[in-house]
Structures are given as C-alpha cells and as structure tokens.
Amino acid sequence: MELPSFVSRLDEELRTDDYADVDASANGLQIGPDSGAVDHVAFAVDGVRETVDRAVDADADVLVTHHGLSWDGFDRVTGRTYDRIAPLIEHDLALYVSHLPLDGHQELGNAAGVADVLGLEECAPFGELGPEHIGQRGTAAESYTIDELCARLEDRLETGGQPVRSLAFGPDEIEEVAIVTGSGTDWLDEAVDAGVDALVTGEGKQKAYHEAKEAGIHVVLAGHYATETFGVRALQDLVDSWGLETSYIEIPTGL
C-alpha cells in the first residue's frame, strides 16, 4: 500500500479533520515523506525514542501512536525533540498520530475499549469537547460494587503492575458508567449532570477528590497508559485486515 493511501484511509476512519480545532495534537501524518510503500506498520501508545527505536528494529515503515511529538507545533527542533525526530528521518520511518480522534471513536476508540471490558450496553458518546466527544457512557449488564469494578479493570488493563485506585464516594451499586480515558476528571461535572454512578478515567487531579465527594459519585483512576492501549490495538486489527504486516510495541508506564 502506498503511504498517501494508508494515511487517507486512517484519516477517513478516524475523522481526523473534525478534531483539528479542538486538539493540540497534530493528528494524522506528523512526520513522513509525500510518497513511499507501506508493508509493515508498528503501533504504540507513545511516540518516544524507545518506541521509535523498536519500530526501526522491527523494520517498520510507519509507526502509529496515540501520543505524538507535535503539540501546538515546534518552536525549535533541538534536545529531546531532535533526538526523537532524527531516527525517524534517518531510517525513513513515518509517524502517524491519532490523539483525541482515537479517544472519541465510538467503535475503535480508547473509551469504547474500556466500555467493552466493563461489559457496558446501550453505549453513547460522552465527554463533550466543542462539537465532538472524546469518551463514552453506558449501562452495566450487571451492577458492580466499586471494588468489583476496580478489580475488573485491574485484571484486564495493562497497568504495569500498579493498582487501580478509586475515589469511592458513589452509590453501593454501580450501573451507569461514564468513561474519558487518560486525564479525564475535567469531565466530572458532565458525569454528574448525566446521572452516572462512576466516572472511569486514567489519572486524576487534586480538586477531583472533593468534587466527587460533594457530588456523591465514584471516580476510578485506572492509569493514563492503561486506559489508552485499546485504540492503537484496535487500529492494529484494522490494518491487519488491510493485508499489511503489523506489530505492537508495549511499554507500560504504570502511570
């Protein structure tokens, strides 16, 4: 497959252009030539030196990540930024990034993956950001206690051996769940307004403790990395179906 076709197909599936005004990440092809053949695609959560080096070792033509290198552009390509970009260019390895588009995709996205783990039904978009959504909400097929919900996530997510934590201020039985992966406690008010019993996210902020306590809602902190492996793995399955060779680079941070 030619690189422009590969990029176009992913952009269309992920609706990359629709998130251009709400995402600081430069989504789509961040680094790469105008043309070239794509036979092997590597996937990882983070676009960092280690994932780049391992993609080079795997002889990949493209590295697809959730977190890329360009956030509101580059002022200077020096230091750590240079060290990450240089091997991409040196080894003719393209970098394709999908940040919020991959969070919000209702089938392939990170929140959708967490919803599947929890067995949520009647799922709908959640986590408004401008005209788009970056999460999902749904109803548990069978109610959870907070300990059961945390244990389910801890068993199924790549937490790097770290426990799933909770701010356990909600009801004894959890039926309605909202999900914003990564750093999602800014959507706590939306979760309260939606009447859910728990908000599942990756990492928290200090203010979320008292906000959750005062609102009577659970907040589950399952790890930023751990909640954001689903999207790139789903994209890997999609690209597999296109007949390309793929590989996954797993580097859990425990955070």
Distance CA 2, CA 29 (A): 13
SS3 43: strand
SS3 59: coil
Phi, psi of 13 (to 5 degrees): -65, -40
Which residues belong to the annotated binding site? 66-67, 103, 224, 228
Q: What is the DSSP letter of 70?
A: -
Distance CA 112, CA 116 (A): 6
Tokens 């990564």 -> residue: 182
Which residues belong to the annotated binding site for a divalent metal cation? 66-67, 103, 224, 228
**Upper half-sphere CA count for residue 105 (Cβ side, 13 Å):** 23
